[in-house]
Structure 1
Amino acid sequence: MSLTQSNEEKQQPISASQDEAQETWSPTEERRLVRKLDTIVLGILILCFFNFQLDRANIGNALTDNFLLDVGITQNWFNVGQQLLNAGIVLLEIPSNVVLYRIGPKIWIGVQILAWGLTSLFQAWQKGLGAFLTTRLLLGFLESGFIPGSLYTLSMWYKNSEISRRFGFFFLGNGIAQACGGLIAYGILHMRGAGGMAGWQWMFIIEGIMTVLSGLVFIGLFPGLPSDPGSLFSVRFFDEREIYILQQRVLLDDPSKELKSRSVRGSTILSTLGNFQVLLHIFLAMAGLAPTTALWSYAPTIVASFGYGRLQANALVSVGQWISVFLIVVAAFAADKTGRRGLVVLFGVTCQWAFMVAFKCLPDTSSSSLKFGILTMGAATCSWWHSVNGSWLSINAPRPEDRAIRM
């Protein structure tokens, strides 16, 4: 049983006029254009998501390089800071997408990327509890709109039958960053002492610069929405015919994606948040992301506690993430191929919690190899299905403004 109306039930039969409209371009021409769309729109968002995840998770790597001692905080205050980050994200996710719906992604998402990139860069010089807590909360505010805003943007460029795969490819940026983050940190943290700075400081500086550069790429090149397919600096990748096809193919597939207003009413927000089906999707997301967030922050420290070297632990945690990258792709194709998104999500949640419970129940006397193996599989199965849950929610949104709030 699905939580929401299935994609097959929602779509209406194509009328004769729609058949005639589709005859103005060939399937081959459409496939070529979708590949171009994947390269430009999806490619830029994947690049930005890669840097987003590096910035969000690198503090977990910093813990293995005397971060607490250097900054002058305790483990308990570090935990408080991480909760402030999450609080900032939760508080501004919906307001951020309301702004995005009004002014468009090419301005709003671009500004956010530059803002959190600069904040991430300058946190290399934080000192003391006040600076740490302020930085964590500020990063939460600035990062809050990127994922929901990107998902909403993708949902407006692609057909419903294409969304699960594109959401999956988008989350590859996250998965690859998680997989590479530990390896990158392993190398950068060896720079401790260079220029009189700690390794974790160099990590924040280098990865912050990477994010700022990706933000400049986004602002300079990202084409916005099908209704306004030019970048902020008027760079255009699509000619008039391609724009026509991109707009019409999506509207013929789902007429509800036509933008009829640039504002979101308060009643729309309240009705969306009070929708029982939406609340069930939120519950699923919480079930998957709660343990995932903890792993982002503490996995290197946990692995180091098994007896591995502190810097070596950063590299070892990437093993589970590479498995997750593979699972993200499999889930995305399975969801679009079968249309059974609910089963994919249910299977993913079950696997994730099975490994998490197994890790929790391991006796303290278990070998380091067994502990590492179970933790690795727990990391591998954490939220690889989340992109499918997002696409499932998006497909069943009745209007663009509802979709903006749901994402």
Structure 2
Amino acid sequence: MSPPAQPYVNTLSALPGSTETKAYSKSDDLSSLESDNRHGKASTVLSSDEGLLDLYKPLSNWEGAHRYDPTAQWTEAEEKAVVRKTDWRICLVACLVMVCLQLDRGNIVNALSDNMLGDLKLSTNDYNLGQTIFYCSFLFMELPSQLISKAIGVDRWVPIQIIIWSIVAASQAALKGKTSFFITRSLIGALEGGVIPDLVLYLSYFYKGDELTTRLSFFWVTLSSTTIVGSLLAAGILQLRGAHGLEGWRWLFLIEALFTLTAGIFALFYLPASPTETAGGLRGKKGWFTEREEIIIVNRVIRDDPTKSSMHNREASTSIFIPVHLLRPNGYAEPALVYLMRLVGILSLWKSFMDFDLWPLYLLGLTTFIAPATAGAYFTLTLRSLKFSTFHTNLLQIPYLVLFICQNLGLVWLARKLNSRLLVASIGSFWQLLFLIVLVAIPDNLDRWAKYAITSLLLAFPYAHPILVSLNSRNSGSVRTRSVSASLYNMFVQAGSIVASNIYQSKDKPYYRHGNRVLLGIVSANIVLFFLAKVYYVARNQQRAKKWEALTVEQRRTYLETTKDEGNRRLDFKFAH
């Protein structure tokens, strides 16, 4: 096929992580290539020099290696068409997974409005403990789930998770008391753990770094939209209280779990392993993409981030190469070697955990969402204490969720527009600070609609999660690190949820003034963390730039050929901020 007359993307010399892709001649040296890429975006600098191109060639066992072509060209219109098709085929179904996640973990808030705690003879402290158990289980399964998905494939593992947790979710219709409540919260948390980082890794196979942030914002728009739909469904389903002798909240758990079970079975036969493996199942014998489209997808993604071709999509993160001569004749490793394999696997995970350059993002994941998570978990209980009916309590959740969606999309747009992620993300924390100050200051006898409005505005904060998740992915720098760091980041977020589940206490109700003052202190500290993280990444980039620019072109070539530095440890890597 002859190249198009007006190529939009040319050779592999296109800079990874750039918002504009440029073509360079072979006379361009490394210094000229770097000059366009000093604006806080994660990247690895490539050169059109053939000797350096070989250093970035994908591994032969990578699933897209047969579509790799450093000379491939395509038009902007072709690329947009491929991205649009990917959005409909992949991102839309990934959002369906998020619908399942939110329905089965979030409908407990709707159930509270139907006197679930009273029916089960539970206190609000029992509810806090149940949510703590849920988030602990969710947290502890993050990393194991990520390792399983990396070994067998996200396209297989996530649908299996959905199917199993939906069965457990349906069993909540038979809850009898405290023990069964705790057990089901633990099982649902464990089975849902890892889904979000799994999907982040999965989408990174199909999208460039700057595109991923927008797609992740779709995730949390989906979560909020699901909560809106869930509130509407709950307003109707909870009216079934008394039907066949069951409370309304039991019907709620059962009906919504049946939907997620169906969705899980669909996803099992629909999701492809990678952009080059779409044939089969519900996708049809010919698959989704033509050979030309596969070439565009594969090359655009690894030109943006060459490290995405460093591991097969079904290669376990703890795997190591075992020389044939160390195996027994029957192909099995000696026991001592098996022990060594496990040890190296643990060391590999420990290495990912000790990547200190990602810790600023982990700390932000821990502290950024504690305040809204606390208020959100008690929102329906708060409305019921303000004498709103079960029906109106569920409907009154919708206004803040609509505003939340708008602010979510707006924050992501602003971050891309200004090319400033951390400072823009901190806007959400300033928003929380403002309305927490108001909550602490208002008198107890304030009109119930005013209290509702203030709490709703607190919960409608600009959501930084898509920005932080995308930053974590971009700043990981390698598939091995990315697969683990996605889980580690989400573990810190869940740890924040555990903290949030224990701030409001029974003795502090109904206005939780002490709890709100605690939240005020946490949000204030979080704002400081945002600015410290920004300073840290700017300083790290300047430090590396100084070392890199001190090298001659020949020294840089030697470094690329011989370095043992990996991912974001390399001198030619720059952190996004």
Query: Is residue 6–residue 396 contact of structure 1 (8 Å, CA) maintained in 2?
Result: no
Q: 1:379 Cα shift? A: 0.8
User: 2:47, 2:442 → 1: CA distance?
Assistant: 55
Distance 1:316 1:16, change over 3 A: farther
Map residues 144-293 of structure 1 onto 2, 5 A cutoff: 144-226=193-275, 228-230=277-279, 235=284, 236-260=287-311, 262-265=315-318, 266-293=346-373
The one-letter code matched in structure 2 to 1:118 is I
Counterpart amino acid of residue 133 in structure 1: F
In the alignment, what sits opposite 1:374?
Answer: 454
**Partners of 2:372 and 2:458 within 8 A in 1:** no
Given that 1:88 and 1:137 are in contact with CA atoms closer than 8 Å, whether structure 2 keeps it comes out as: yes
Task: Summarize the Cα distance change of 1:401–1:42 in structure 2 as closer, same or farther, 3 Å threshold.
Answer: same
- In structure 2, distance between residues paired with 1:22 and 1:82: 53
How many residue pairs get aligned? The number is 402
The one-character-per-residue Cα deviations of 1:143-194 (angstroms, maximum 9, x if unpaired) are 1111111111112210112111111112211121123322221111111122
1:7 deviates by: 5.1
Equivalent residue for 1:325? 405
Residues in 2 aligned to 1:31 and 1:14: alpha-carbon distance in whole angstroms = 25
Cα separation, 1, equivalents of 2:280 and 2:433? 42
AA matched with 1:396: N
Provide the rounded CA distance (Å) in 2 between the counterparts of 1:379 and 1:171. 14
Alpha-carbon spacing, 1:6–1:318, altered in 2? closer, same or farther (3 Å): farther
Counterpart of 1:49, as a letter, is M
SS where residue 187 of structure 2 aligns?
helix
Aligned equivalent of 2:164:
115
When residues 295 and 180 of structure 1 are mapped into structure 2, their CA distance, relative to the original with a 3 A threshold, is farther
User: What stretches of structure 2 of length at least 5 have no aligned partner?
Assistant: 1-37, 54-68, 319-345, 487-577
Residue 382 of structure 2 corresponds to residue 302 of structure 1: yes
Aligned to 1:57: 106
The match for 1:406 is: 485
Deviations 1:376-403 (A, max 9, x none): 1111116x21111100111111111111
Q: Are 1:10 and 2:10 counterparts? A: no
- Is 1:24 matched up with 2:40? no
**Aligned-partner Cα distance in 1 for 2:397–2:283:** 42
What is aligned with 1:393? Answer: 472
More off after superposition, 235-244 vs 81-90: 235-244
The answer on whether the counterparts of 1:167 and 1:387 sit within 8 Å (CA) in structure 2 is: yes
Distance change >3 Å, CA 180–CA 27, structure 1 → 2: same
Larger Rg: 2
2:165/2:192 contact within 8 Å kept: yes
Deviation (angstroms), 1:137: 0.4
Judge conservation of contact 1:160–1:253 (CA < 8 Å) in 2.
yes
For 2:389 and 2:44, the matched residues in 1 are separated by: 55
Distance verdict in 2 for CA 1:353–1:101, change over 3 Å = farther
Tell me the SS of whatever aligns to 1:99. Answer: helix
For residue 56 of structure 1, report the CA deviation from its aligned partner.
1.0
Native 8 Å contact 2:43 2:305 kept in 1: no
Change (3 A) 1:230 1:69: farther
- For 2:305, the aligned partner's letter is D
CA contact (8 A) 1:82 1:136 kept: yes
Map 1:349-360; keep pairs closer than 5 Å.
349-360=429-440
Per the normalisation by structure 1, the TM-score is: 0.92
| Equivalent position amino acid for 1:395 in 2 | R
CA deviations 1:324-349 (Å, max 9, x no partner) are: 11112112222233321111211122
More divergent stretch after superposition (341-350 vs 34-43)? 341-350
How far the C-alpha of 1:212 sits from its partner, in A, is 0.9
Cα RMSD between the aligned structures? 2.3
Structure 1 residues 323 and 233: alpha-carbon distance in aligned structure 2, compared to 1, 3 A threshold: same
Q: Is the contact made by 2:169 and 2:188 (CA closer than 8 Å) also made in structure 1?
A: yes
Question: How far apart in 2 are the matches of 1:260 and 1:146?
Answer: 20
CA distance in 1, matches of 2:232, 2:386: 19
1:250, distance to aligned residue in structure 2 (A): 0.3
Q: Using a 3 Å threshold, how does the CA distance of structure 1 residues 22 and 33 change in structure 2: closer, same or farther? A: farther
Shift of 1:292: 3.5
> Superposed, which structure 2 residues align to 1:93-108 within 5 Å?
93-108=142-157
Shift of 1:240: 2.7
| Contact residue 164 and residue 335 of structure 1 kept, 8 A | no
Q: Give the structure 2 partner of residue 70 of structure 1.
A: 119
SS at match of 1:65: coil
Q: 1:139 Cα shift?
A: 0.6
**1:181/1:374 Cα in 2 relative to 1: closer, same or farther (>3 Å)?**
same
Query: 1:222·1:231 contact (CA, 8 Å) conserved in 2?
Result: no
CA–CA separation in structure 1 for the residues paired with 2:272 and 2:465: 26
Cα distance, 1:232 vs structure 2: 6.0
- Which letter maps to 2:485? R
Distance 2:149 2:165 in 1: 17
2-side partners of 1:355 and 1:146: how far apart? Answer: 32
**1:55-80 CA deviation, whole Å, 9 max, x = no partner?**
11111111121212323433322221
What displacement does 1:81 show?
A: 0.7
CA displacement at 1:230 relative to structure 2: 4.7
User: With CA pairs under 8 Å and 6+ residues apart, which has the higher RCO, 1 or 2?
Assistant: 1
Structure 1 position 296, deviation (Å) = 4.1
Report if aligned partners of 1:251, 1:257 keep a CA contact under 8 Å in 2: yes
Give the corresponding residue for 1:347: 427
> What residue is the counterpart of 1:143 in the other structure?
192
How far apart, in 1, do the equivalents of 2:270 and 2:113 lie? 37
**Identical pairs, percent:** 28
SS in structure 1 at match of 2:141:
helix
TM-score of the pair, normalised by structure 2: 0.66
The one-letter code of the counterpart of 1:309 is S
CA contact (8 A) 1:60 1:297 kept: yes
Give the superposition deviation at 1:116: 1.1
Aligned mates of 1:48, 1:345 — CA distance in 2:
25
| Distance (Å, rounded) in 2 between the aligned partners of 1:157 and 1:128 | 45
Aligned 8 A contact 2:311 2:480 in 1: no
Q: Judge which range, 218-227 or 99-108, deviates more.
A: 218-227
**Cα 1:151–1:49 shift into 2, 3 Å:** same
